[in-house]
Structures are given as structure tokens and as C-alpha cells.
Amino acid sequence: MKSSTSFIAALLLFLAAGIASAQTSEEHINLDTPTGSIAGTLQLPAALEGKPRVALIIAGSGPTDRDGNNPLIPGRNDSLRMLAMALAEEGIATLRYDKRGVGASLPAGPTESELRFENYVDDAAAWVARLKADPRFGPVAVIGHSEGSLIGMLAAQQAGAAAFVSIAGIADGPSTVLRKQLAGKLPPELDKESERILASLEKGTTVDQVPPALLTLYRPSVQPYMISWFKYVPSECIAALTMPVLIVQGNTDIQVAVAQANGLYRAKPDATLAIIPGMNHIFKHVRADPALQAAAYSDPSLPVSPLLVKAVSDFLKKVD
């Protein structure tokens, strides 16, 4: 019975994938930069009627690729790819890409000591400009996930996007979030050293003396990037946006709390706020149980939340 059930489940997944592929199509494109090519994937509705809306999807932190997968985590979750396919089925085109230094864009990545947060912002803004210049598309929006939310805010304003969507974005400044994450987890002496280093980086000054136990976090080669990142407070950045904004947050996300979405909404009260019940950080409906959450990050059979797809597609379809 177990093998029969597994076969049926696999068959249903295969049929679902076949239906989805029939309703959407993919086109691989590259963005040329002075330091190398950045690889992207256009997800297109099966029939391009008129000039469909298009959205740039920006992945979260670390080596997360254009499909939402992280090589440091076993398996795949395909969250961003699934979101792109679902939006294409709603008639909305999307472009997702491997950030410089990630996946197929690995050669475009500078050394760690040369990387700055603004590199990611400028790349996203260049993609928006590319989409705005493409005669196939209508209004261009930006969708930023997790750390990609802050990148997206800045890029959307810089490039003049028609709308912005934040999914699981933080409201607090990155250094504030880091302090909260470290609170109570370090011995007193290391906690004191961590605060000394954080305070210096917030002022724009690198630190030469880093305790060995903190080198992974504050190694000299990553400090310039942290300084460039710490300059931006998402709640301040979103308040400055002049286009329509949607803020989306799942209430079983164990990485980013609903309080962060509420903080963004307080900063941008004319935005639309959508709290998705039962949705976790990678858009899947999973209870807030650590074991279930961990398993979800390696399970591509879990679909993305239809409530998320509806919230984003309904919002984007109103954008002019």
C-alpha cells in the first residue's frame, strides 16, 4: 500500500508539472556587467496577450539561487521557481536571476573583500531597466524575498519600478537584527567584543582585532560588506518609496517574525499588508515546528501557498 501511495503521489506531481509547463515557458537571458555575466530566467505566460505585467524576483541572503535553493542546505525547495510559474499562470511574467557570485553568475562575483551591498542593488536596478526596455512587457514591478526585500526597495526606487512587493522582509536595520540574534548566545566577554565590533562597523570603521571565536562572523574580508549593508534601515527605505507597495508575511515563518512586517507597514501605512496564515519563510504551508520546517527546505513536492500567489497576483494586476 505504501509503494502504491508513493506511486500515485509521484504521478500526480508529474502531471502537475506537465500542466504547469504547458501553461508557461522559460527563456534564459544574461545581464552583461563590467565584471561578468549575470544569469537570469524569464518565466512567461503561455500566451503573451498584449503587454503583460512583469516582475523582477530577488532572492534572499547567502548563496540562494534564482530558484530559491541554497547549496548549503540538502535538497531543493524550488520556492522562487514555483512562485514564478504560478504567477505566469496568472498572466504575469517574471524574471529571476542568480545574484553575482551565486550559481551560474559565480564568475561575476568579486572577491569577498571587494563586495558591497550596493553591487546587488545596482544589478537589480539594471535588470529593471532591461525589463522596462523590453517591448514585450507592460509595467515592471520588483518582488524581494528576505534580504532581497531591502535590495528590492532600493533598486525599485533607483530604477523607477511601477510597484514593489516585500515577502518576509525585515523592518529593523541589519545590525539591530544581528544583535537580537546574538542576544544571550555568547559568553559575557565575547558579547562585549561583539558589541565593540558592531558599534565600530556601524560607524563605518573596520576592526583589526577580532577574537578567533568571532572570526566566522566578523572576519576582516567581510567587514567592508557589512559596513555597506548596515547603512540601510528597511523601515526607512520603504517609507521613501513612491510606488504602490505590498508587504507579505507568513505567520509560521521561524526566520522572520510577523512583527517585522508590521514594522514595515507602520513605516509605509499606505501599503497593502497581507499576513498569510500557515506560510513559512519559503512560501510553503508548514506548522511552526522546527523539525517540519527543516524538512520543508528540502522538499520540492510542497507547493507554494496559493494565498501568496493570490495576494501578489491581485496586487500586480492593479498596477498601471
pLDDT tens-digit readout, 249-300: 999 999 999 999 999 999 999 999 999 999 999 999 999 999 999 999 999 9
Residue 27: CA count within 13 A, CB half-sphere? 9
Round the CA-based radius of gyration of the chain to a whole number and report it.
Answer: 20
pLDDT band with cut points at 50, 70 and 90 for residue 60: very high
Task: At 124, list the grid cell.
Answer: 537589480
Q: Is the dihedral of CA 196, 199, 201, 204 positive or negative?
A: negative
Q: What confidence tens digit (pLDDT) does each residue in 160-178 have?
A: 999 999 999 999 999 999 9
Q: Is the pLDDT of residue 231 over 80?
A: yes
The pLDDT score that the predictor gives to residue 314 is: 98
pLDDT-based confidence at residue 11 (cuts at 50, 70, 90): very low
pLDDT reported for residue 2 = 36
pLDDT confidence of residue 24: 79
Confidence of residue 3 (pLDDT cuts 50, 70, 90): very low
Three-class secondary structure assignment of the chain: CHHHHHHHHHHHHHHHHHHHHHHEEEEEEEEEECCEEEEEEEEEECCCCCCCCEEEEECCCCCCCCCCCCCCCCCCCCHHHHHHHHHHHCCCEEEEECCCCCHHHHHHCCCCCCCCHHHHHHHHHHHHHHHHCCCCCCCEEEEEECHHHHHHHHHHHHHCCCEEEEECCCCCCHHHHHHHHHCCCCCHHHHHHHHHHHHHHHCCCCCCCCCHHHHHHHCHHHHHHHHHHHCCCHHHHHHCCCCCEEEEEECCCCCCCHHHHHHHHHHCCCCEEEEECCECCCCEECCCCHHHHHHHCCCCCCCECHHHHHHHHHHHCCCC
pLDDT at 19 over 60: no
| pLDDT score, position 9 | 40
Q: Is the pLDDT of residue 128 over 70?
A: yes
For the segment 190-209, what is each residue's pLDDT rounded down to a tens digit?
999 999 999 999 999 999 99
Confidence of residue 48 (pLDDT cuts 50, 70, 90): confident
pLDDT for 49 equals: 77
Q: What was the pLDDT predicted at 18?
A: 44
User: Average pLDDT over the chain, rounded to whole?
Assistant: 93
Higher pLDDT, 23 or 135: 135
- What residue ranges define each of the domains in the chain, with the CATH number in brackets? 25-172+233-317 (3.40.50.1820), 174-231 (no CATH)
What pLDDT is stored for residue 125 in this prediction? 98
Confidence (pTM):
0.91
pLDDT band at 21 (very low <50, low <70, confident <90, very high): very low
Q: Specify the range with the lowest mean pLDDT, choosing from 18-27, 69-78, 131-140, 261-270.
A: 18-27
In 3D space, the residue among 300, 317, 293, 281 whose CA is nearest the CA of residue 87 turns out to be: 317
Using alpha carbons, select from 232, 230, 210, 231 the residue that is nearest to residue 221. 210
What percent of the chain has pLDDT above 90? 90
